[in-house]
Structure 1
Amino acid sequence: MTTDSTSLKLKKVVPDAEDFLPILGTDFVELYVGNAKQAAFYYQHAWGFQPVAFSGMETGNKNSVSYVLQQGKIRLVLTSPLKPGGDINRHIDKHGDGVKFVALWVDDARKSYEETTKRGAKSYAEPYVMEDKNGKAVISGIHTYGETIHLFVERGDYNGPFLPGYREWKTKASADDTGLQYIDHMVGNVGWNEMNKWVDFYARVMGFAQLVSFDDKDISTDYTALMSKVMSNGNGRIKFPINEPAEGKKKSQIEEYIDFYNGAGVQHIALATDNIIETVSALRDRGVEFLHVPETYYDDLLDRVGEIDEKLEPLKELGVLVDRDDEGYLLQIFTKPVLDRPTMFFEIIQRKGAQSFGKGNFKALFEAIEREQELRGTLN
């Protein structure tokens, strides 16, 4: 790998992480979807992702088709089956569209596999080499919560558009990007009393450390509650909050997710920007729908969070939330579910020093989610 990659690996910012598994970043997130061509069009034109690579019948792949899109360091892979039966169809039938693979960029996919499986991870794929005229890549994988898979991707000897077996994909009908830069964190929803099991998994199997935890007193409204713990690798580039339901008067968003996804899975992906007003304005103009909090949220905002660089009116008009911690503040907003089932959604986040996750916004956010649940008839 390059010197820059190695320096990322060595810079440890989470002291408690054992970090025997150096991870350089998120390589890609792959979703199994019912219609990859139309999903690719959506992420291009609504979100500003750019076409990168393609795999399908034209490349010799007779069983599935995949479109690869990228914006900043965020790489999405959208995959659909070409034939009836098989794992992709079964996954879509059970879960709807959703995240199947969270691929992690590593120096050594073989070592990553050995280190995790010897600590108890269930093998998904033993290390194998993919190769074409542009070089070779090594891939391995392990099972995590639900049917979500972590792939380890070693691509130091590959110079193609994505991975061997893919060809460059261009289209005239692409849209400008919206200022999205990288994946800040990815949230997993798990079942009742399963959070600590998966927190232990990331600590024991992958060398992560717990950054912060939230209990049902932190994350609750009059009706619903949940628990959450945030796990991070040593260099802080991979952060996985793990959510589980907590007892409440009505059905929480986590229970709704698990009901419709039929099990544990990736609930939302937080995408970072350095100008949330411009990014959210562009996304909204292209049809992306966001949760909206009552305007009263902004009445005492500056008293709660102190001075901020942004003007209050555009934040209020867009529905952007603000929270502060000891290191600075952050701005965040959440989309409505981007799928027909009320499962996966996105968060847009801009950090102005803050390293937290918006604890001060939880109540307003959850009340906004509950209003959507009530419209869907799934709150009771």
Structure 2
Amino acid sequence: MATANTTYSGEKIFEGAQDFLPMNGTDYVELYVGNAKQAAHYYKSAFGFQSVAYAGLETGLKDRVSYVLQQDKIRLVLTSPLKEGGPINEHISKHGDGVKVIALWVDDATKAWEETTKRGAESCMEPHREEDEHGYVVKSGIKTYGETLHIFVERSNYNGVFLPGFQKWDTDFNPPVVGLKYIDHMVGNVGWGEMNKWCEFYEKVMGFTQLVSFDDKDISTDYTALMSKVMSNGTGRIKFPINEPAEGRRKSQIEEYIEFYNGAGVQHVALATDNIIETITALRARGVEFLKVPEVYYDDVLDRVGEIDEDLEPLKNLNILIDRDDEGYLLQIFTKPVLDRPTMFFEIIQRKGAQSFGKGNFKALFEAIEREQELRNTL
């Protein structure tokens, strides 16, 4: 029985990946938000992120402001417009707060752009150098589902706090971290019939491989259904599940997301921890709200998943879900939407060897989501 925490080295572990586009991991995730200063306070207070860098009027920017937050290997950039009109305002008006950029750390941003665009990706940023007194970075980018972008960041020649144009952001208020380590995966919701298109995009354009597929028989309740495929690069450091709706008796969570986000986009970000009990205890104490499953879920969960290292009672008290695959088991829990629109949320996950995504929890999880949809009158 595998009980060690799952980590992903630089070695290839998924043989199906072509890996013509070497990637070191997620560099940062940028959200366009209505008020970056207040959003930064929320992610610091509620999730334990730390102040890192800032760019705005004081650094010479006239049209926008960005705050950079970090916890271990997770880096968030929160960006707001400073003037009316323009693409950031348009994005927020259409989608609400949401993920605009999934930045990928690469050794060669020029080659990454060349390899992906020659395979059919639409460019959003040609390779170019950005520099200041701390060195330079090379950035390039391509478009993906909805209005989401992948920006390739080459930073081996840069020693600054984040990127050129940013200054160190010192604050007196830095609540303790809660044990979040790295981004385990990021899930994209796409429209009817679009899942295979975007899975093929990640396979052909970026060299990913499909790890697992779930159809509406795997992910369904009495009312709603969806389909999902998980794409990963060869090292397993970057995993992108892609969801699409499936026919059900009522409106699924994917349909609800697409209605309120006005199109495809990032549904949730899964953040890894080495001690989910401590992490969730801290998050709940700070006001983070999580989905709840009925207590009967725990009556036979150990019959299904077998022996685990943790005592069941604290997991039950915190509503943490458990699942097992051939490699080990995992512990996971999902926040309620962290925005006014029922769109983006977070998953907290601890892997004890497992490389799967909690298939055994789908029914309980989606019934919990449906209860929230019923309260929102969107089911």
TM over 0.5: yes
Aligned residues: CA RMSD: 0.8
| Offset, 1:8 | 5.4
| Offset, 1:174 | 1.1
Q: Which residue of 1 aligns with 2:353?
A: 353
Q: Which residue of 2 aligns with 1:47?
A: 47
Gap regions ≥5 residues in structure 2:
1-7
Per-residue CA deviations over 1:250-269 (Å, capped at 9, x if unaligned) read 00000000000000000000
Q: Which residue of 1 aligns with 2:62?
A: 62
Q: Which residue of 1 aligns with 2:262?
A: 262
Contact 1:211 / 1:231 at 8 angstroms: preserved in 2? yes
Q: Which residue of 2 aligns with 1:200?
A: 200
Q: Which residue of 1 aligns with 2:185?
A: 185
SS at match of 2:205: helix
| Offset, 1:111 | 0.1
Alpha-carbon distance in structure 2 between the residues aligned to 1:309 and 1:172: 39
Alpha-carbon distance in structure 2 between the residues aligned to 1:295 and 1:284: 18
Per-residue CA deviations over 1:3-26 (Å, capped at 9, x if unaligned) read xxxx955x1111000110000000
Alpha-carbon distance in structure 2 between the residues aligned to 1:149 and 1:82: 22
Runs of 4+ with >2 A deviation: none
Aligned length: 372
Alpha-carbon distance in structure 2 between the residues aligned to 1:27 and 1:207: 19
Q: Which residue of 2 aligns with 1:88?
A: 88
Amino acid paired to 1:66: S
Amino acid paired to 1:281: T
Amino acid paired to 1:91: H
| Offset, 1:181 | 0.1
Contact 1:326 / 1:354 at 8 angstroms: preserved in 2? yes
Structural mapping, 1:277-288, within 5 Å: 277-288=277-288
Alpha-carbon distance in structure 2 between the residues aligned to 1:311 and 1:338: 29
Q: Which residue of 2 aligns with 1:116?
A: 116
Q: Which residue of 2 aligns with 1:312?
A: 312
Q: Which residue of 2 aligns with 1:337?
A: 337
Residue identity (%): 77
* Greater relative contact order (Cα < 8 A, sep 6+): 2
Amino acid paired to 1:51: S
| Offset, 1:301 | 1.0
Amino acid paired to 1:327: E
Q: Which residue of 2 aligns with 1:370?
A: 370
Alpha-carbon distance in structure 2 between the residues aligned to 1:284 and 1:158: 38
SS at match of 1:46: helix
Per-residue CA deviations over 1:36-73 (Å, capped at 9, x if unaligned) read 00000000010000000000000000110000000010
Alpha-carbon distance in structure 2 between the residues aligned to 1:354 and 1:233: 17
Amino acid paired to 1:358: G
Alpha-carbon distance in structure 2 between the residues aligned to 1:292 and 1:245: 23
Alpha-carbon distance in structure 1 between the residues aligned to 2:299 and 2:23: 42
Alpha-carbon distance in structure 2 between the residues aligned to 1:179 and 1:111: 35
Alpha-carbon distance in structure 2 between the residues aligned to 1:229 and 1:150: 19
- The TM-score, its normalising length taken from structure 1, stands at 0.97
SS at match of 2:182: strand
Alpha-carbon distance in structure 2 between the residues aligned to 1:327 and 1:209: 19
| Offset, 1:225 | 0.3
Amino acid paired to 1:345: F
Structural mapping, 1:135-146, within 5 Å: 135-146=135-146
Alpha-carbon distance in structure 1 between the residues aligned to 2:79 and 2:160: 19
Alpha-carbon distance in structure 2 between the residues aligned to 1:212 and 1:375: 32
Amino acid paired to 2:208: F
Q: Which residue of 1 aligns with 2:100?
A: 100
Per-residue CA deviations over 1:86-131 (Å, capped at 9, x if unaligned) read 0000000000000000000000000000000000000000001110
Gap regions ≥5 residues in structure 1:
1-6
Q: Which residue of 1 aligns with 2:3?
A: none
Q: Which residue of 2 aligns with 1:3?
A: none
Amino acid paired to 2:298: Y
- The TM-score, its normalising length taken from structure 2, stands at 0.98
Alpha-carbon distance in structure 2 between the residues aligned to 1:276 and 1:222: 30
SS at match of 1:360: helix
SS at match of 1:307: coil
Alpha-carbon distance in structure 2 between the residues aligned to 1:212 and 1:19: 18
Alpha-carbon distance in structure 1 between the residues aligned to 2:222 and 2:213: 21
Contact 1:8 / 1:24 at 8 angstroms: preserved in 2? no
Amino acid paired to 2:290: F
Q: Is 1:226 aligned with 2:236?
A: no
Per-residue CA deviations over 1:280-299 (Å, capped at 9, x if unaligned) read 00000000000000000000
Alpha-carbon distance in structure 2 between the residues aligned to 1:157 and 1:284: 40
Q: Which residue of 2 aligns with 1:323?
A: 323
